Structure 1
Amino acid sequence: MSCVECGEPLEVPTRGRRPRYCSRSCQAKAYRARVAAGATVARPADPDRALTVEAIVQAAIDVADAEGANALSMRRIAAELGAGTMSLYRYVPGKDELLSLMVEEVIARQSPRSPGLTGWRERMTAIARYDWELYKRHPWVLPFVTTPRTVLLPNMTEEVEWALASFDGLGLSAVMKFQLVLTVNHYTSGIGLLMANDWEARRASGVDIEQWWETTGRDLAGTVVAEDHPRLSELMSEQSEMTLFDETFEFGLARVLDGIALLLDR
């Protein structure tokens, strides 16, 4: 058995799903090729490959990571698995439930919780950085977690409980603790949304933000009259600094935590 993308031989496990790719790189190349062709290529039906909830969820995560949440449908996931659409409903009731399972799965793969982190600032930093990396790997998660009616999944409740405990012993009410956690969360998801929107624009156009600034951004800078807008003109001249999402995130996070520290000192 060999990788369908590069032809390298594959190890066939004695149990579980049979692999089709030798690496995530080959899997991503295959997705990009399908996107470029503007068509969905279904996997051939494999009667020896039993459907499972885990297989369905992973196939959905792969599609969302490569093409965004808008590409998700039960029909599409069935095609990826070489199965009939209706057969998926024996395992997952529908798309909404599938999305919840996907979010639960990617959250479960890593946790910011560490017994060595005891101070509120250390914990809040760990949580923010964890969320940031989650949004970078899976930008489709953002709409699910940026709503006041978010369903608290099991792993999410553990993270929230740990975050709230960061402020124990400081004489704060439960509401105040939640507001502080929410402040950090909103900052991270806000800049995460900028990054996710840029990811979607790059996926659709094939142009990354650095290239965009070199063309469209340079034209925009040319429309700013330095005499009338000297500060904006100076900012536009430093275009390269405006594309560094990681650095921008870390700078803003430190300022948010500085503000919370001032509040607690009072």
Structure 2
Amino acid sequence: MNMINALVAPQAVRAPLALRRSAKTGSKTRAAAVAPKIVTASSNAPIGGDKKKGARGEEAFRLQALGKNPIVNAAAGAMDVIPGDYRIGGVLLGVATFLGPVCHLWTQFGIHGFLGAFLAFQASRVRFRFSDTDLDVVFIEPGADDSTALDVDTESSGDNKLQGGGANKWSFDSVTNWEFWFPGFPVLVYYKENQTRPEGQPHFFPIIMDGKKLYETMLAKMPESVNKKPLVSEWNLDTAFESTALGRKIKESLSEEQLKQLKDTTGFPGLDK
């Protein structure tokens, strides 16, 4: 199933990424500045001129008391995590409910129900992360807060066996093109990179994450797409039609009034504000 990509890779529990990096540095200065002083900062605040160090120590103690690792949060500060989104899975489950109990089309009910449940489950645990240089895919515990994705290693999503092998992590420099179907009504995202294979490797993902945030982040961080992309503020049904050759062909047969209605239609009815 090419669309599902690495989503079916086995889940694993890994050590926090930033801690692994911190261990590799071997810097005694950083270890002394972060680890020992976190516990003692609030009770032994420095006296005299070193107020900034005391403030940093108090903040580290506060983060530790909240169950947050200050090392991880500092290293992951530039990381963007795309939240999960259940709309596609929910729509498919709704269609299944209509096809089965209402129309008694039980085969179609089974297909739509399985797909809907699978995508809803994946939306609860698959997270896209964007750093300043890379995109990677990680798994979190289903239903866990999105911020937990900051602490998870890329290896949690396993090897990308379905599409060329290797880790589910790609540098932006390796991306040669990306597409979004459809701007305004996000359903599927595609990108092609030459990191996995020199001749280029395509990847397809259903939009089981916040489509708007994903799109905005890709616009900001990824190389330009072959096809020009509208801003999120311009999203409507017309931009969705314009994103494909078939959609542009359909528009040629529409009246002026119908074309106006395309531009006036924004978002999924009942799902988008």
Which band: TM-score by shorter chain? under 0.3
TM-score scaled by structure 2?
0.25
Structure holding more strand per residue? 2
